[in-house]
């Protein structure tokens, strides 16, 4: 249905359509959690306040290559695309094929690329897109419940792929990721967002 058709839509139908549009991704996210609780690690997507706070230190004018780990149903993807330069790229990496298929079907933007794979392979994935580094990397990964060894492998690969001056932007429900980041990043800025389910610990790890 085109936006012109929506203008004549009766109110109850409009409410139902909006509810369906909202519940679609929420239901997919919940299904992902039920099937892979340790990999998804959250019952609902991040809040708008969390999105704004996590992205707040990014200098978008100097950001060409932005990578996101664990996009889920794309809570951060649209806000990142709204801020990203016209010649920028957003590469998102997730291990869940349902999430990747959903993102590929719903986000139509030539700057966007959704890759089925592990964040541990970020160096190769960024290289496959024709770049030798990322300006910033964002992560919603549940580091505390990932299989043994995966967290440190992702930290090391992230440090390798970031340009000097780039940041690893991490939000999690515990300080687990922040403790792990200390071994890989020179400076870690700290934040906390209470308006999130559950409240969320934010860490910005800067390289160089």
Task: Summarize as ranges the residues that interact with ligand SAM (CB under 6 A).
Answer: 39-42, 45-46, 69-72, 75-76, 93-96, 99, 118-119, 140-142, 146, 150
Task: Tell me the closest approach of the beta carbon of residue 155 to ligand SAM, in angstroms.
Answer: 12
- Parallel, antiparallel, or unpaired for β 200-206 and 187-193? antiparallel
Name the residue nearer to ligand SAM (CB basis): 15 or 23: 23
Name the residue nearer to ligand SAM (CB basis): 65 or 100: 100
Cα distance between residue 205 and residue 10, in whole Å: 49
Burial class (CB in 10 A: 0-12, 13-18, 19+), 203: buried
Task: Tell me the closest approach of the beta carbon of residue 24 to ligand SAM, in angstroms.
Answer: 14
Give the bridge partners for 139, in sequence order.
69, 170
Task: Tell me the closest approach of the beta carbon of residue 129 to ligand SAM, in angstroms.
Answer: 16
Report the alpha-carbon angle 171-104-113, nearest 5. 65
In order of 44, 151, 192, the CA distances from 187 in angstroms are 30, 19, 17
Name the residue nearer to ligand SAM (CB basis): 12 or 149: 149
- Residues whose CB is less than 8 angstroms from the CB of residue 173 and which lie 6 or more positions away in sequence, other chains included: 41, 42, 142, 198, 199, 200, 201
Name the residue nearer to ligand SAM (CB basis): 72 or 166: 72
Helix orientation angle between 11-35 and 97-106, rounded to the nearest 10 degrees: 150
Name the residue nearer to ligand SAM (CB basis): 81 or 150: 150
Task: Tell me the closest approach of the beta carbon of residue 160 to ligand SAM, in angstroms.
Answer: 16
Task: Tell me the closest approach of the beta carbon of residue 133 to ligand SAM, in angstroms.
Answer: 19
As a whole number of Å, the CA-based R_g of the chain is 17
Task: Tell me the closest approach of the beta carbon of residue 68 to ligand SAM, in angstroms.
Answer: 7
Name the residue nearer to ligand SAM (CB basis): 111 or 145: 145
Which position's Cβ is nearest ligand SAM?
Answer: 70
């Amino acid at each position: 249905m085109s936006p012109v058709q929506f203008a004549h839509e009766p109110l109850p139908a409009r409410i139902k359509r909006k509810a369906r549009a909202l519940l679609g991704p929420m239901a997919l996210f919940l299904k992902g959690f039920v099937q892979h609780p340790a990999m998804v690690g959250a019952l609902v997507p991040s809040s708008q306040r969390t999105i704004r706070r996590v992205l707040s230190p990014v200098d978008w004018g100097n950001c060409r290559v932005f990578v996101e780990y664990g996009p889920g149903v794309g809570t951060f993807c649209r806000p990142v695309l709204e801020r990203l330069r016209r010649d920028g790229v957003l590469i998102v990496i997730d291990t869940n094929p349902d999430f990747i298929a959903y993102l590929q079907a719903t986000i139509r933007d030539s700057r966007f690329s959704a890759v089925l794979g592990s964040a541990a392979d970020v160096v190769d994935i960024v290289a496959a897109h024709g770049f030798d580094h990322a300006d910033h990397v964002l992560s919603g990964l549940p580091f505390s419940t990932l299989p043994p060894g995966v967290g440190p492998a992702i930290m090391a690969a992230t440090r390798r792929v970031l340009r000097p001056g780039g940041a690893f932007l991490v939000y999690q429900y515990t300080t687990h990721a922040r403790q792990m980041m200390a071994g890989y990043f020179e400076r870690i800025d700290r934040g906390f967002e209470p308006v999130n389910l559950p409240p969320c610990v934010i860490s910005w790890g800067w390289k160089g």
